[in-house]
Amino acid sequence: MKNKFNLNLPKTKFPMKANLSKNELNILKKWNDDNLYQIILNSKKEKEIFFLHDGPPYANGNIHIGHAFNKILKDIIIKSKNMDGYNSPFIPGWDCHGLPIEQKVEQNLNNLNKKVSQSQFRLECRKYALKQIKKQKKDFIRLGIFADWNNPYLTMSFKTEANIIRTFSKILQNNHIYKGEKPVHWCITCCSSLAEAEVDYINKKSLSLYIKFKIVNIDFFKKFYNLKNNFIISLLIWTTTPWTIPANKALAIHPDINYQLVKINNEIIIIAKNLVDKIMKKSKILDWNILCEIKGNLFKNIFLYNPINNNISPLIITNYISEKSGTGIVHIAPNHGLDDYNICNKNNIKGINIINKKGFFIEGIHPNLDGINIFNSDKIIQLILTKNNSLFLSENYLHSYPYCWRHKIPVIFKATPQWFISMDQNNLRNLTLKTMKKVVWIPNWGFNRMYNMLINRPDWCISRQRFWGIPIPLFIHKKTQKIHNNSIKFIELIAKIIEKKGIQAWWDLDIKHFLGIDAINYKKVLDVLDVWFDSGSTYYSVISHIKYLKEKKIDMYLEGSDQYRGWFISSLIISTSIKNEAPYKTVISHGFTVDSQGKKMSKSLGNIIHPQKIINSLGSDILRLWVASTDYSNEICISENILNKITEIYRRIRNTARFLLSNLNGFIPEENMLKKKYMLVLDKWIISKTKLTQNDIINDYNNYNIKNVVKKIMKFCSIDMSSFYLEIIKDRQYTFKKNSIARLSSQTTLYLIIEALVRWIAPILSFTADEIWNYIPGKRSKYVFTEEWYSKLFELSSYEIMNNNYWDDLFKLKIEVNKIIEYAREKNIIGSSLEANIILYLNKNIYNKLLLLGNELKFFLLVSSVTVIKSKKDCNNILINKFKITKFIGKKCLRCWYYYIELTNNICNRCINNIKGTGESRLFV
């Protein structure tokens, strides 16, 4: 499934849930398959399954989400809103057609020794796709992904199939589509053309041959050198695809390259000057000499014998040739190379077909090649050339070669009649290059990658010779091969039929119903559309037909980095060809999962870590947090060790939330919340810190910098909260009167912070956020997922004496004091920090700041006694010039744990006042 669309629309009332229309329900019912019908509609039984529990097991038991997640899904879809307040429905979808499903169904049918009709085969493909969708959907829901799972788009739904055909019609109207017979990537196992996205480039060792093409008439060369008629002169070519030699229709040289005639015994071969020495060294021929040199543009009226079949080929002069490798002379087989095709097309040279769709030589090419597969023919061709005295040299050559991504076998270029979207007709290439500049590409190198793909992209072959796909609904004239003049009108009529009956209607359609008596002159196109056309048109075939979406522009496409040559580029080309604009505002690509060594996951290596296993043992939130913590623009490492580290990060965040919630016990926000003016300064500082952190987090979310979001949340929980603030306020929380200003101030602060924190983590730790939300005191909406960023935080004014800079300096000092305390522990001077009696000699600046805290300084430093002395000498870079630490001479209060010289019944006077008196008062900490 592609993470297809995320739309941010202006703030508005929430739309009603988009249900299937009556027409769609009737279409589904007509399938006469109750199982399929129930899969699409989601039976109640299936809904009742999804009671999800999440989280890693701890000593206190598993984390339980007390909601049926499917119930949450239903509510959230109706009120789909992001934290910025925008209605942002996530529309899940599946590309359902294509060869992988065909082949799986074929395999299943073969295993059952079952033969079916084409119509039944399509129905089997549909059933198989639905089963896979059901499985995948269950896994996505378990991950906690909010989407309208009951109403996903499927490219095989009748309505979407019809709309894809309408998309084709729009492009046809704009004159971007044509039919041509030109070389395309062809897989001999698929027996179909392949899209660029279906081809992987792998290093392959090929047999490369240096082959002599004998010149028919040598009269041209006599004026350059005094040659005798008994000399045999040949042009030397080099090829890594020997099987294409029988398809040769020309040889080509460059007009500006100098070529030398090399004499070897009574034979002369012609090679580019700069390559002669290199080739002769490889041949290990010692006795040779240069007769003369001729520039490429001087060659005139040269014809050559094909060494396999003696067909005569002309010599073409073209700038396409290079002398960096080979011989500087190129063998041209227009049926098996796009550049070759273009060269021959300019010179009015037609290609020759030598193989069938399965890659076997057809009869009549050569007696030794009849019925031979091209990939088994190299040695045979080598032997034929040797017998003909046409083989000069052979060697193995390692090079990057295209492979079928499904079958992992080499593919070929094969000229077949296909339908294309022209990149240059009507200026489509330049228009697409222009529209892509308005898109935000994340990572930013995505722009260059897409630009380079567009600038060099050949015409897009959109037709496939298969059965399971959207048909190309055209009638073509049997003689002229032109499409019918009323094609646009017919396509809309056909789309309406498919909207009711599905794509099978095209194959069942009687051409006479459309063309009447003229039907005898026409035939239906039986090719199907490339699946990348299916997915590339979804912005139009799906989004533009959702009524409750006021704006049809998609905010963001998210997919793997391989989709620059797939979904990203197909969507861009289709949208530009129809509307002259990009279909998306932002494109985000991600890397792929590898193990801790950076190796690709594979069964053979045994390094696969299954998501389901992680979820079952650690919970979905751990998997979500791992994803969020990574630099998704590169390959993403995963291992048990990495997951253990992620679990520790999760534990820190969760434990912070637990502390906040546990200290809000009995706090009623509607009654106990304090106004800012009554709060302690330390509390106001941490709220200000929370506000500044939230500003950064929102900015990172808006820029899709999720890794930084996790870092900032982790820093806030571990350092700002756990290491500093929470440690300091424990005294107030545990020893002050329940409704004292100081305690209510800290509780108000904890309440504001948990309200913010739960929103920060909601997009990442969704299950945990939902659990936290239900424990936060006070009146609130049902789900955190329908909330916006918390707006009741505030910042400290820079004009205040105890502003952010003030507290930053104090916490720097606290870090240094903590080091002193740790030193004293190691020396067994003290046990806990509350046993400490410290004297600090400070520079003037920090000394003056500490004086502001007065008697509250010890509560800030968490020691029982502290004395600060201004140093006579100031060192600007040193906060503490000198210190002295001893164990406090006194007794420990059993209630607050601070040490005092005198206690009453083991309780200090401060605690007695907090129990029986008016209570302690604090201003700062």
Q: Which of 526, 484, 521 is nearest to 509 (CA)?
A: 526
Rounded CA-CA distance 785/74 in Å is 12
Strands 2-6 and 554-560: antiparallel
Poorest-pLDDT segment among 19-23, 151-155, 215-219, 655-659: 19-23
Residue carrying structure tokens 């500093």:
724
Run of H or E residues at 534:
helix 531-536
Rounded to whole angstroms, the Cα distance separating 367 from 883 reads 100
Task: Kindly report which listed range (67-71, 281-285, 410-414) carries the lowest average pLDDT score.
Answer: 67-71
Query: Which position has the token pair 């037909």?
Result: 545
Burial 378-389 (b: 16+ CB within 10 A, else e): bebbbebbeeee
The pLDDT of 722-750, averaged and rounded, is: 95
pLDDT digits (tens, 9 = 90+) for 118-155: 999 999 999 999 999 999 999 888 888 888 888 888 99
Identify the CA nearest to 160 among candidates 547, 543, 571: 543
Distance, CA of 396 to CA of 379 (rounded, Å)? 12
Task: Sheet containing 836-842: give its strands across.
Answer: 865-870, 836-842, 880-887
What's 175's DSSP letter? T
Question: Is the CB of residue 524 less than 8 Å from the CB of residue 506?
Answer: yes
Under the banding of pLDDT at 50, 70 and 90, the label for residue 73 is: low
Tens digits of residue pLDDT in 581-623: 999 999 999 988 888 777 777 666 677 888 888 888 898 999 9
How far is it, in rounded angstroms, from Cα 750 to Cα 305? 89
Q: Percent of the chain at pLDDT above 70?
A: 90
* pLDDT at residue 397 in the model: 87
Give the CA radius of gyration of the chain. Answer: 38
Which residues, 6 or more positions from 169, have their beta carbon under 8 angstroms from its beta carbon? 488, 491, 492, 495
Quick check: 305 and 217 in contact, CB under 8 A?
A: no
DSSP 8-class letter at 87:
B
Q: What is the pLDDT of residue 229?
A: 64
Which residues neighbour 518 within 8 Å (Cβ) at sequence distance 6 or greater?
Answer: none
Within 10 angstroms of residue 729's Cβ, the number of other Cβ atoms is: 25
Residues in the chain: 925
Tell me if 71 sits within 8 A of 141, measured CB to CB: no
Q: Are 255 and 296 in contact (CB under 8 A)?
A: yes
pLDDT number for residue 72: 54
Q: What average pLDDT does this structure show over 773-793?
A: 93
Given a contact cutoff of 8 angstroms between Cβ atoms, the answer to whether 2 and 64 are in contact is: no
What is the 3 state secondary structure string of 281-329? HHHCCCCCEEEEEEEHHHCCCCEEECCCCCCEEEEEECCCCCCCCCCCC
Q: How far is CA 326 from the centre of its chain?
A: 39
By CB neighbour count within 10 A (0-12 exposed, 13-18 middle, 19+ buried), where does 114 fall? exposed
Q: pLDDT value at position 896?
A: 96
pLDDT for 47 equals: 28
**Residues in CB range of 548: below 8 A, 6 or more apart:** 15, 16, 18
d(CA 610, CA 617): 11
Is it the case that residue 658 has pLDDT exceeding 90? yes
Is residue 20 pLDDT above 80, yes or no? no
Mean of the per-residue pLDDT values of the chain: 86
Phi, psi of 380 (to 5 degrees): -65, -45
**Confidence class of residue 76 from pLDDT cuts 50, 70 and 90?**
low
Q: Kindly state the average pLDDT of the residues 392-406.
A: 87
Contacts 24+ apart (CB under 8 A), 432-439: 432/572, 432/573, 432/576, 435/572, 435/575, 435/576, 435/580, 435/581, 435/582, 436/572, 436/582, 438/581, 438/582, 439/582, 439/584, 439/585, 439/586, 439/587
Q: Average the pLDDT over 567-574 and give the result.
A: 95
Q: What is the DSSP letter of 903?
A: -
* Structural domains in the chain, sorted by start: 2-154+536-594 (3.40.50.620), 175-192+414-533 (3.40.50.620), 203-411 (3.90.740.10), 611-786 (1.10.730.20), 813-916 (3.30.2320)
Q: Is the peptide bond before 152 cis (omega within 30 degrees of 0)?
A: no
Q: Which residues are bridge partners to 187 per DSSP?
A: 192
Residues 6+ apart with CB under 8 A from 763: 83, 701
681-704 mean pLDDT: 96
Q: How many percent of the chain have pLDDT more than 90?
A: 63
Q: Using alpha carbons, list the distances in angstroms from residue 607 to 472, 602, 889.
A: 43, 6, 60
* Per-residue confidence (pLDDT) for residue 225, from 0 to 100: 73
Mean pLDDT of 430-443: 96
Whether 250 contacts 314, CB under 8 Å: yes
Q: Mean pLDDT, to the nearest integer, of 326-330?
A: 93
Say whether pLDDT at 763 is over 90: yes
What are the tens digits of pLDDT across the range 282-317?
998 888 999 888 999 999 889 999 999 999 999 999
User: pLDDT tens for residues 540-558?
Assistant: 888 887 777 766 678 889 9
pLDDT level of residue 676 (50, 70, 90 thresholds): very high
Q: Over range 566-588, report the average pLDDT.
A: 94
Q: Report the alpha-carbon distance of residue 21 to residue 44 in Å, rounded.
A: 19
Q: Where are the alpha helices (DSSP H) in 174-273?
A: 219-222
Specify the pairing of strand 880-887 against strand 891-892: unpaired
